[in-house]
Structure 1
């Protein structure tokens, strides 16, 4: 289950409108809800807020945050190299 500190990290990295980015990743990875469909923004928000536990989705969220941080660091390094 996602705790308050993790929730803040998700919001700081992905922004306050994090649901579309998470849903896009889940769809690409073919992670579906119990009915076999795509997750709704409301269900993603409940998972991020820690109201619902879903280990598969939580793992994908953690991977998305990690990938986004790595991408941001790479962009910053490239900007520094270009602006020297």
Structure 2
């Protein structure tokens, strides 16, 4: 379950509309809901707000944030030289 402080960090890296970043990645990886359909923005919002728990989607969100964080750090190192 995502808690408020974690959501703030996620929004910091993915922007104010994180579902716009998350859904395409889930679709690309073939992560679908229990009905075999892509996740809707509302469901992603519920997961981010801690209303719904979904370990698979939460792991993917953390992977996306980690990738963005690593890219940001890499840019900082390369461009500060």
| Structure 1 and Structure 2 fold alike (TM over 0.5) | yes
* CA deviation map 1:43-70 (0-9, x unaligned): 1000000000000000000111011000
Question: Which structure has the greater CA radius of gyration?
Answer: 1
Partner of 1:48: 48
Partner of 1:72: 72
TM-score, structure 1 normalization: 0.92
Show structure 1 runs of 4+ deviating over 4 A: none
How many angstroms does 1:28 deviate by?
1.2
Distance 1:40 1:67 in 2: 22
Unaligned runs of 5+ in 1: none
Unaligned runs of 5+ in 2: none
RMSD over aligned CA atoms reads 0.7
1:22 partnered with 2:25? no
How many residue pairs were aligned? 81
Partner of 2:57: 57
TM-score, structure 2 normalization: 0.95
Partner of 2:5: 5
